[in-house]
Amino acid sequence: MQIIDTDVCVVGAGPGGVAAALKLSYLNIPTVLVDKATFPRDKVCGDAISGKVTMLLNRLDPKILERMELNAEALNPVWGIEFVSPNGDRFDLPFKMDYDEKQEKAPGYTMKRLHFDHFLVQEVNRRTNIQFLENTSIKNFQKTAHGYSISDDKKNVEINTKLLIMANGAQSTFSRKEGGLVKANKHHAGGLRAYYKNINPLHPKRFIELHYLEGITPGYFWIFPLTNNLSNVGLGLRTDIIKKRKINLNKAFNEAIEQHPLLSQRFKDAELQGSVQGYGLPLGSQNRKISGDHYMLVGDAGYLIDPLTGEGIGNAFYSGFIAAEQAAKCLEAKNFTSEYMIAYDHRVKRVLGKEMKLSYQLQQILRSHSLANWLGKTISNNPKLIQLMSSMYSDLDLRKKLVNPGFWLKYLFR
């Protein structure tokens, strides 16, 4: 058996785990990064890379972002979102008004997780102070006087660490057994994802599309363009609503593609690539403790997925960076207690909590079909309102207006 002693061990080499490992590396803190898979590997996801990711990568090292942007064959720039209400009203919401694709960098991207996660792992392999163990499935966690002793299912490796950063996804056993995180249907969503080729037409500006369908709100059907005429297509809805309305997601997904008046013609000649796959999304709409003695939970393992959009990569990145910075403080203070670690929870809540709370409030509003239709009609007929909402993409204080009835009354009476 190989025995490794390290100050920090990161379990999970998805976006959250790699973000933590890279940030620690740039802080000159050696790290062991472990993942059960061998890369490249696929991951069921919406494949949307938000502006949070590009901002944080650029902040860490602009050269990483430059290298990512060289992946022209796999990286699709995204400049906005098209929203479609249940009754068919639609409007485009660019992330920035009057943008110039030729002169500016896109604020967001879509990229298959197969390619994006592999790119991140390649960045890990550039760093000499990250020891990366692939094909190593950690199953055993033993609390010790100095932290944790963990080992893989085959008992080929044992890692002794002062601090664990758990970034091993939504199905993390550690999150449930050690962290005490419990699935709550009101704060959880079910989703389906598939890849389709030759959807015709795609959005003329290749915006990502969110379709709020009758019977599916506050969830939505999505079309996210990728490269090579491929699209990530999916459907997601909160778990408690799925159970209450007795919705069969597979049936609803197929009906949208085959029977919906706006979608069926576009999918008439589209080709399914592979299979339709399902997955669960633990949403960040409930206040949870995501740290404890000698550990922190990052990304999906910390139940940090946006309640409205279902986007998890950006929040995983942010929490990974915050965990790395907290780890540096713990090592300096030689303090890994739950009481000291709570600073991680507070900072995650300060950075991401307000946004996720707002997303949950908007999700609640969109439960009403009539209100969703009214919003679609109101916004689609008001260019000034679209311009204001475009500014809300990067301004949280402006976004708060969306849940204020007075804001909508003002525009209604105008």
Q: Is position 346 within any domain? A: yes
Q: Is 275 domain-assigned?
A: no
Expressed as residue numbers, the domain containing 119 is 2-74+110-183+286-362
Q: What is the mean pLDDT of residues 30-36?
A: 98
The Cα–Cα gap between 369 and 295 comes to 42
Locate 77 and state its tokens: 């720039």
Q: With CA atoms as reference, report the closest residue to 283 among 303, 309, 298, 301.
A: 303
The average pLDDT across 326-354 equals: 97
The whole-number pLDDT of residue 385 equals 81
Residue 315 domain flag: yes
399 part of a folded domain: no
Query: pTM to 2 decimals?
Result: 0.94
Bridge partners (DSSP) listed for residue 31: 130
Residues 88, 209: contact at Cβ < 8 Å? no
- Position 398 scores a pLDDT of 67
175 lies in a domain?
yes
Q: Taking Cα atoms as reference points, which of 244, 234, 316 lies closest to residue 278?
A: 234
Structure confidence at residue 350 (pLDDT): 94
pLDDT at 30: 98
Rg of the Cα atoms in the chain: 22
What DSSP line would sit under 308-375, residue for residue? TT---HHHHHHHHHHHHHHHHHHHHHT---HHHHHHHHHHHIIIIIHHHHHHHHHHHHTT-HHHHHHH
The answer, yes or no, to whether residue 34 has pLDDT greater than 90, is yes
| The two three-digit tokens of residue 294, written as one number | 């000698």
Residue closest to 323 by CA, chosen among 7, 24, 54: 24
The per-residue pLDDT for 414 is 60
237 DSSP 8-state letter: E
CATH assignment of the domain containing 142: 3.50.50.60
User: Average per-residue pLDDT in the chain?
Assistant: 93
Note the Cα 280 to chain centre separation in Å: 12
Determine, yes or no, domain membership for 42: yes
pLDDT confidence of residue 396: 64
Q: Is the pLDDT of residue 405 over 80?
A: no
Question: How many domains does the structure of the chain reveal?
Answer: 1
212, burial (CB in 10 Å: exposed 0-12, middle 13-18, buried 19+): buried
Angle of helix 313-333 relative to helix 338-348, nearest 10 degrees, comes to 150
Which tens digit of pLDDT belongs to each residue from 234-291? 999 999 999 999 999 999 999 999 999 999 999 999 999 999 999 999 999 999 999 9
User: Residue 376: inside a domain, yes or no?
Assistant: no
Structural domain contains residue 227: no
Alpha-carbon span 132 to 147, nearest angstrom: 20
